[in-house]
Amino acid sequence: MTNYYLILDLIALGGPLLLSFDKRVSYYKQWKAVFLAALIIAVPFLIHDELFTKNGYWGFNPDHLIGIYAGHLPLEELLFFIIVPFSCYFIYACVKYYMNGLNHQLINRIVQLTVLIYATVLIFTRPEGWYTATVVPASILTLFIWTRSDIKKPLGLSFLLSLIPFLIMNGALTGSFSDEPVVWYSELEKVPGRIFTIPFEDVLYAFTLIIGVSLLADRFQQGKK
């Protein structure tokens, strides 16, 4: 038995936490908005997660968990929905500061179109799979909300950059770097095949989580101005 999942959570948290006090980005000043947004967005994700785990659509290897559960979900999974958005919004904050001169409106449009095409391909590939059938509409709804917001913000580039650590962590959870996965998926509820060991749907899952938290955190911070 190892604490593999918890270690991954702490690694994901460590970098953004230590760099939060950089005077240029001053990420620590945005903590309240980000954590509040993450907590709110986590609610539907955790309900979805609980139902899927209970019904055996996916699950967790107890050999890599510390053994504390809320319902059917391990503590590490609960932390995932706070730590990952916190870390990804840090990337967003850095992009806003250091890459302000790019044409973010164009980048956003390209990312939005790509996500729409990707979601369409997935839903026509396995429309009866519960993971596919839930994550595609959620990503389309998130995409619609994003297009109705200020698209000049660098959300597109931030999402692309966030995908790198997100997919590395998901790869670690699904067995890319270990003999057995921490998280397993029913092949009947997802599109056939994987990105290495990562389900194709996880890209849209990441999109919905990251963009959703970013938009809500931005709204909270605008409300303070």
Output helix, strand, coil percentages for the chain, rounded to the nearest 5.
Answer: 70, 5, 25
Is the Cβ–Cβ distance between 82 and 46 less than 8 Å?
no
Asked if residue 1 has pLDDT above 60, the reply is: no
**Which has more pLDDT, 41 or 224?**
41
**What integer is the mean pLDDT of 111-136?**
96
Instruction: Show contacts of 4-7: CB within 8 Å, 24+ apart.
Output: 4/64, 4/172, 4/178, 4/182, 5/60, 5/64, 5/65, 5/74, 5/76, 5/77, 5/173, 5/182, 6/65, 6/66, 6/75, 6/76, 6/79
pLDDT tens readout for residues 64-99: 999 999 999 999 999 999 999 999 999 999 999 999
Q: Kindly report the pTM of this predicted structure.
A: 0.95
Amino acid at 120: T
Q: What is the pLDDT of residue 195?
A: 95
Q: Residue 222 — pLDDT band, cuts 50, 70, 90? A: confident
Q: Give per-residue pLDDT as tens, 145-179.
A: 999 987 779 999 999 999 999 999 999 999 999 88
Q: Residue 24 carries which side chain, given as an amino acid letter?
A: R
* Residues paired with residue 69 on neighbouring β-strands, in sequence order: 74
Count of structural domains, the chain:
1
Digit-coded pLDDT (tens) for 185-220? 999 999 999 999 999 999 999 999 999 999 999 999
Q: What is the pLDDT of residue 152?
A: 78
pLDDT of residue 225: 56
Task: Report, as an integer, the average pLDDT of 15-39.
Answer: 95
Q: What are phi and psi of 72, to 5 degrees?
A: -95, 5
* Structural domain that includes position 56: 4-224
